[in-house]
Amino acid sequence: MWLTSKIKQVLMVMKPGVVTLNYPFEKRPVPENFRGMPYWDHEKCIGCGGCANHCPARTILVRDLCQEIRLMVYDASRCTYCGRCADVCPEKAITMTKQFETATGDKQDLTESMELFMLTCQRCGRCYDMENKNMIDRMDLLGFRYDNIEARSLIRKTTDHFNVEMLKKTADYKRPEKLGE
Amino acid sequence: MFTNLSKKIFGKSLWLYHCNTGACNGCDIEILNVLTPYYDVERFGMKLVASPRHADVMLLSGAVTRPTLPLVKKAYDALPNPKLVFGIGSCATGGGCWFDSYNVTGGATGVVPVNYYIPGCPPRPEAIIYGVALALGLVEKNVAPIELKQMEFPIDAYERNKAWEERNVIYKMLDN
């Protein structure tokens, strides 16, 4: 009786064959919508700090080094890979990559830091990004009030010294796009 | 240094002792998943043992909570030398979401010397095998600290200021 059951078992096992994945040597593609290590695109980032506000594990640190440079530090060691930062990013600067092979002997390997150039708000003294997409710049373009003439020397307003070319240059100013896009 | 050591001393097989230090069981289930026929970690001669005295490697999962802290230390001391400690999951590596909570010591780093970190919440079974293979020296390390910098200097602001200065000359040096 026990012999027949053993033979049955052997036959059952013969049917699927070898199922074991030969993992570190042969890799299997990860499933779709898999969230691995997040990647920051420093060309797109405007330094708003929304990701730092929404991070449940508080892994993203925003620190202003000086008036012009903002430093953002990400520490993956306690990241839960929830993807909230990628969801809230207004510029889509954060993408969740499919990298999960992040085992390491040193915790320092899991950090990402980013330096951003910022402008200073003349009213509150804090950093903000300079770009024409910026709401403050757009208001300036429409002729709203301005606080510091020197910082925004080219005021879009009809004056004696109005330079159309200069206006065009700065109005169409675009950040250099990332290679391969 | 640890890779060389582990190659020399226990190149043949590792016996694992699994220690839950207040994890939510996500990482524990992934560790069990590693032992299933699909990700058969016994290919490397690894085996889950019940007692820390039989083990070479301790798998820590979970942020070390205050009640488990003395027990973790005892279990670590019970392991015979040489020993390796793997921190599995975000909680063991850095403390997880509750790294600064009052009843959590903030990850395994402050309690026992951790040799390898496997982040993830929970890490994939493949990621755990990757960490083990890294300890055995089968694969290379895949991560490094990333530093990004906006190389573009805000030139247009500088040019704007310069243009303004040129256009609005109030005092001018007169030639004799």
Based on the domain organization, do A111 and A98 belong to the same domain?
yes
Domain co-membership, A40 together with A125: yes
Query: Which 3-state string (H, E, C) describes chain B?
Result: CHHHHHHHHCCCCCEEEEEECCCCCHHHHHHHHHCCCCCCHHHHCCEEECCHHHCCEEEEECCCECCCHHHHHHHHHHCCCCCEEEEEHHHHHHCHHHCCCCCECCCHHHCCCCCEEECCCCCCHHHHHHHHHHHHCCCCCCCCCEEEECCCCCHHHHHHHHHHHHHCCCCCCCCC
What is the domain range of residue A124? 33-130
CATH number of the domain where residue A126 is located: 3.30.70.3270
A153 and A103 housed in the same domain = no
A154 part of a folded domain? yes
The sheet with strand B15-20 has its strands ordered as B47-49, B15-20, B57-61, B84-88, B116-118
If asked whether residues A58 and A108 sit together in one domain, one would say yes
Q: Is there a contact between A110 and B117 if contact means CB atoms under 8 Å apart?
A: yes
Q: Are residues A80 and A119 in the same domain?
A: yes
Distances (CA, A) of A95 to A36, A45, A176, B25, B118: 9, 12, 19, 28, 21
The answer to the question of residue A56 being in a domain is yes
The pLDDT tens digits of the residues spanning A70-107 come to 888 898 888 888 888 888 888 888 998 888 888 888 88
Break chain B into its structural domains and give their ranges: 2-136
Q: Is B148 within 8 Å of A113 when comparing Cβ atoms? A: yes
A176 touches chain B (CB under 8 A): yes
Q: Is the ipTM of this complex over 0.85?
A: no
Tell me the average pLDDT of chain B: 83
Residue A21 domain-assigned? no
* Same domain flag for A138 and A120: no
Closest chain A CA to residue B132? A103
In a domain, A71, yes or no: yes
Q: What is the pTM of this model?
A: 0.71
User: pLDDT tens-digit profile of B93-136?
Assistant: 888 888 888 888 888 888 888 989 999 888 989 999 898 888 88
Instruction: Enter the CATH code of domain B2-136.
Output: 3.40.50.12280
A2 lies in some domain = no
**Interatomic CA distance for residues A166 and A163, integer angstroms:** 5
Q: Is the pLDDT assigned to residue A18 strictly greater than 80? A: yes
Number of domains observed in the structure of chain A? 2
* A150, part of any domain: yes
Facing residue for A116 by CB, picked from B97, B139, B150: B150
* Interchain CB contact of B145 with A (< 8 Å): yes
